[in-house]
Structure 1
């Protein structure tokens, strides 16, 4: 990896409609929302976290023509994130409705648009846009789609060895067909998932055991990172070394939405700077900790904010400051 390494998202950026409600309505009922926000979400959060730490960031996914597509493109442009594919004219970008109840629990309903209708030519264009040294981020949200999944798996499997693939299986990991999942795992260089997803993939093991087991399923030289929220993460670095616990940072959390995305984006940005895996994981823990102190999904910190949080000495070890 070099300072010129880009983070390329082969996934989905959609619109998030977030509504605060006192409680979910009963079936057939209604409830008055107390706050509503509309913004770009999905993979946008990961790209933004990487971009704010100085990485080049590229959206290599589908986007449509309509209000949600315009919202997505405007948000990407505002963060200095480029796109690979032209806007589709046969429909709009999809959206997700998130109902946040009085206890902070989130309930989601997602409606995909053109995002779920990739063509073979578009998949080929994504693969063709990837260049040596790039870090390609793949999400389980894309792999679970009936049309997109096989095309993305084929594209990922064909990437050259000088490209690093990072796979985040996402909450729907159990629904990804084996014929799609296995080729992606076989090509994955970094698997980053939360403890629940790691347990599903590893057959119910705890985070430490799951990290070790999952490293054994990947190709030689690959590593696994299991995110453990406020407890930091478990890291099975490439090779046969022990799984290590990288502690988190205590903060007063306000909103955990997008914390995992901030962690992934920061980790990739730091790897792209040539930072070793343990230090990159520590920096990602710090970025996620900062992210949960703010409301909203795309709350990953800038370089200056991360330096202020860590202190100049530790930040210099991460190639920052």
Structure 2
């Protein structure tokens, strides 16, 4: 199996500003570095594509400077688009504040990507292929227009499509009527520690991963991403287990979760077992946070070099990582 990663979510512009610390309410702070890049689900697509999986953006993109930036960035990574350009507005953007500890805080302003239509869903349904891996984000489900359409579409997908949900920071704002059908259909749920706590009520990641799997269908699995501590994995039919991480000096956590999700799905799609895929995703995320920029996931050669003599490199790539 080596299906495509299809992102039914948002790729928007990231206006990245590094700051010593977040400003107090009503105050100001001087940024130390600024950058405008493609962000959102772009990071997930890039992580999968660099590991050798075909990747397709199946969201909306507009007419204007941010839409142009997104399309140029996708093309540079050899990532295709599924839906045509929208001419009634531009792509949205996120202001990403990165503090001195590498943590990120977002403010998002949506554009045309928030205006999904039934005809867009029909196009997506017609373009999916057996074996594809469909990635959903809470950023899409929380939107009043997109959420019900994506929820209904996901609930009706055949079993030969692997569905993954990353509920994102806005998970608490997703209506239950939208979220429940998606959770009933997903094959994989990937959350960070905060999202796991909000969805499960548990601070402890082992308790959270167990509770979250109980919310899903019997054949589904859960990952709780724990940053430098790796992740907790509840694979279908297996007891929850801790998958160790790769401690590094983090300089920019923006896009780390996306790198983990994209790498995990790419490795699952390439036939690796969940524990191996999760360990590989931990390595890819560690590589990414040690570098500045939102789309810093490694390619196969870079990940193999990062792993060095770790036996995981042989399991993932054999003798040739290229």
Q: TM-score, normalised to structure 2's length?
A: 0.94
Q: Does 1:151 align with 2:118?
A: no
Structure 1 segment 172-183 matched on structure 2, within 5 A: 172-183=170-181
**Aligned-partner Cα distance in 2 for 1:113–1:173:** 20
Residue equivalent to 2:289:
292
| 1:103, distance to aligned residue in structure 2 (A) | 5.3
**Cα distance change on mapping 1:33 and 1:249 into 2, 3 Å:** closer
Which deviates more, 161-170 or 105-114? 105-114
Query: Which consecutive segments of 4 or more residues in structure 1 shift more than 6 A?
Result: none
CA contact (8 A) 1:211 1:243 kept: yes
Picking from 67, 78, 88, the partner of 2:65 is: 67
| 1:305, distance to aligned residue in structure 2 (A) | 0.7
Q: Does 1:52 align with 2:50?
A: yes
* Structure 2: 5+ residue stretches without partners: none
Residue equivalent to 1:266:
263
- Which secondary structure does the structure 1 equivalent of 2:5 belong to? strand
| 1:319, distance to aligned residue in structure 2 (A) | 4.0
* Structure 1: 5+ residue stretches without partners: none
Figure out how many residues of one structure are paired with residues of the other and give that number. 318
**Aligned-partner Cα distance in 2 for 1:56–1:219:** 28
Residues 148-173 of structure 1: CA deviation (Å, up to 9, x unaligned) = 00011111111111000001111111
Which deviates more, 29-38 or 180-189? 29-38
CA contact (8 A) 1:19 1:97 kept: yes
Q: Does 1:204 align with 2:202?
A: yes
Residue equivalent to 2:187:
189
Residues 36-83 of structure 1: CA deviation (Å, up to 9, x unaligned) = 100000000000000000000000000000000000000000000001
| 1:26, distance to aligned residue in structure 2 (A) | 5.5
| 1:34, distance to aligned residue in structure 2 (A) | 3.0
- Which secondary structure does the structure 1 equivalent of 2:148 belong to? helix
| 1:215, distance to aligned residue in structure 2 (A) | 1.2
| 1:35, distance to aligned residue in structure 2 (A) | 1.9
CA contact (8 A) 1:232 1:249 kept: yes
RMSD (Å), alpha carbons: 1.6
Q: TM-score, normalised to structure 1's length?
A: 0.95
**Aligned-partner Cα distance in 2 for 1:38–1:25:** 21
